[in-house]
Amino acid sequence: MKITIKRFDKRKEPQSIDMNYPIFEGLTLLENFIKIKTTLDPTLSFNGVCRSGVCGSCSVMVNGKAVLACSYKPKDGDHIEPLNYHEVKRDLIVDKSGVQSTLITAKTWLQSDAKKENANKVEVQSSCILCDSCFASCPVMAVNENFLGPFTLTKAYRYSIQGDNRETIDLIQQNGVWDCTLCGECTLACPQGIDPKMDIMNLRSRSVQAGYCDPNFANMSFGLDFTQGF
List residues near ligand SF4 by CB under 6 A.
56, 128-134, 137-140, 150-151, 154, 180-186, 189-190, 192, 194, 196-197, 200
Give min distance, CB of 9 to ligand SF4, in A: 27
Give min distance, CB of 124 to ligand SF4, in A: 9
C-beta closer to ligand SF4: residue 78 or 195: 195
C-beta closer to ligand SF4: residue 91 or 185: 185
134, 199 contact by CB (below 8 A): no
Q: Give Cα 206 to chain centroid, integer Å.
A: 23
The letter for the amino acid at 50 is C
95, 139 contact by CB (below 8 A): no
Q: What is residue 20's three-state secondary structure? A: strand
32, 74 contact by CB (below 8 A): yes
Give min distance, CB of 142 to ligand SF4, in A: 10
**What DSSP character marks residue 99?**
H
Burial of 201 (0-12, 13-18, 19+ CB in 10 A): middle
C-beta closer to ligand SF4: residue 93 or 124: 124
Give min distance, CB of 51 to ligand SF4, in A: 17
Give min distance, CB of 149 to ligand SF4, in A: 7
Give min distance, CB of 1 to ligand SF4, in A: 28
C-beta closer to ligand SF4: residue 41 or 95: 95
C-beta closer to ligand SF4: residue 44 or 152: 152
Buried-exposed string 158-181: b where 16+ CB fall within 10 A, e elsewhere: bbbbbeebeebbebbeebbbbbbe
Neighbours of 197 (CB within 10 A): 22
Give min distance, CB of 71 to ligand SF4, in A: 12
C-beta closer to ligand SF4: residue 23 or 200: 200
Residue 29 Cα distances to 60, 65, 67, 73, 141, angstroms: 10, 14, 10, 6, 26
C-beta closer to ligand SF4: residue 27 or 55: 55
